[in-house]
Copies of this chain bind each other. A is one copy, B any other.
Amino acid sequence: MSSSSVAPPAKPPMRDALVAAAFRLFLERGYEQTTVDDIVALAGVGRRSFFRYFPSKEDVVFPDHEGCLADMTAFLAAGDPECEPVRRVCDAARLVLRMYAENPTFSVQRYRLTKQVPGLRAYELSVVWRYERALAEYLRGRYAGRPDGTLRADVVAAAVVAAHNNALRSWLRSDGRIDADETVGHALGYVQAAFGTTAAGPAAGPASAALFGGPVEHPDDVVVLVSRRDAPLWRVVQEIETAFGRA
């Protein structure tokens, strides 16, 4: 970070202390066996302080999602209107994995906790749904007026969230050891290849148009070739040359 950059506003230390106290107790005693009173006693603050930061005990388990949702929404709103929409939502999803990766120990502990407590699973589903809605709302704006614009927006948003969550689980199961950015990039690449578009306009998207056909042009100088294995090799090479503009 350059010296001229402005530091983000510091998180209130009391909020951090409450999260730390809560997780210490959750891990020692279990989530259900820990009350808000236990948490505030350990953190050395009053109940009202807890509820100033967290509407409920569940919220202290996911202390960073509100901020991350706000960051994601701002990121999407700030996008160049020319930028390719699927790429933009993929980049927005990367912000979420980055939030997890900033604190691997905490993220892995929470993952284990969430798997054990059904109430937290339900809470997590509602958080995931909010991320998905944020991505879908952005895409609906970008696809407004197109045929099947809301369908496309909803499907792409769901696919991006599923790819992100697949990568997130792989990363959490590795105890945060594998490279988070690379893992999520690989997973999101799968969605981009299915639905992404070129700068010039809508793309391969559903790629079936090119089924057993020639090459499909993809964004940013990517070429996709689909061929039957039993096609003559000389014909495949010829198609590649054409696609690469070198014939």
**Residues of chain A having any CB pair with chain B under 8 Å:** 122, 125-126, 129, 148, 150-152, 154-155, 157-159, 161-163, 165-167, 186-187, 189-196, 198, 200, 203-212, 216, 218, 221-230, 233, 236-237, 240-241, 243-246
Contacts and interface: CB of A to CB of B under 8 A. Distances in A.
Contact of A226 (B148, B154, B223, B228): B223
A208 B204 CA distance: 6
A193 B218 contact: no
Contacts of A155: 159, 162-163, 166, 190-191, 194
Contacts of A192: 208, 211
Most buried by B among A155, A166, A193, A211: A211
The 3 tightest CB contacts between A and B, nearest first, are: A193-B208, A193-B206, A158-B162
6 contacts: A154-B162, A189-B208, A190-B206, A204-B216, A224-B224, A240-B240
Contacts of A194: 155, 194-195, 205-208
A124 B231 CA distance: 42
Given A187-B151, A207-B204, A193 B159 contact: no
Q: Copy number of this protein in the oligomer?
A: 2
A18 to B, nearest CB: 24
A193 B222 contact: no
Contact of A158 (B159, B225, B240): B159
Contacts of A200: 212
A86 to B, nearest CB: 11
Contacts of A237: 237, 240
A192 B210 CA distance: 12
Contacts of A195: 194
Given A126-B125, A154-B165, A244-B236, A226 B221 contact: no
Q: Determine which residue in A126, A151, A210 has the highest number of CB atoms from chain B within 10 A of its CB, and name it.
A: A151
